[in-house]
Amino acid sequence: MFIHLGGDIVISIKDVISIMDIESSNLSNTTKEFLSIADDEGFIRKISEDEPKSFILTEKDNKTIIYLSPISSVTLLKRANFIENISLK
């Protein structure tokens, strides 16, 4: 199954490690440092020019990509659970 992250980015649910809220994550110095290092090393992909509301940590073929999405983490989690519930029926 797949999840739409915004823009024209669709990824496989099985590649998702974590979906995090940007605003609450910015309260943590550790998370700020993690995102800064990831950006410096080229792991971050900004989906749109809109202000990001969430970041999605993914891994595919042993390659880590962090997507900055204009869609809230709550909405993305609902999409992921909706897809999961469909596949269970």
- pLDDT single digits (tens) 12-35: 999 999 999 998 887 789 988 999
What does the DSSP 8-state code read for residue 89? -
Q: Is 56 a domain residue? A: yes
Q: Is the dihedral of CA 20, 25, 28, 31 positive or negative?
A: positive
User: What's the alpha-carbon Rg for the chain, to the nearest Å?
Assistant: 13
Q: What is the pTM of this model?
A: 0.85
Instruction: Read off the pLDDT of each residue in 55-66 and give the average, rounded to a whole number.
Output: 95
Q: Is 89 a domain residue? A: no
Beta-carbon contacts of 65 under 8 Å, excluding residues fewer than 6 positions away, are 43, 44, 45, 58, 59
Domain count, the chain: 1
Q: Is 8 a domain residue? A: yes
Q: 45 with 15: CB under 8 angstroms? A: no
Domain that holds residue 63: 2-84
Alpha-carbon distance of 30 to 28, in angstroms, equals 5
Q: Is 14 a domain residue? A: yes
Q: Is 19 a domain residue? A: yes
Q: Is 33 a domain residue? A: yes
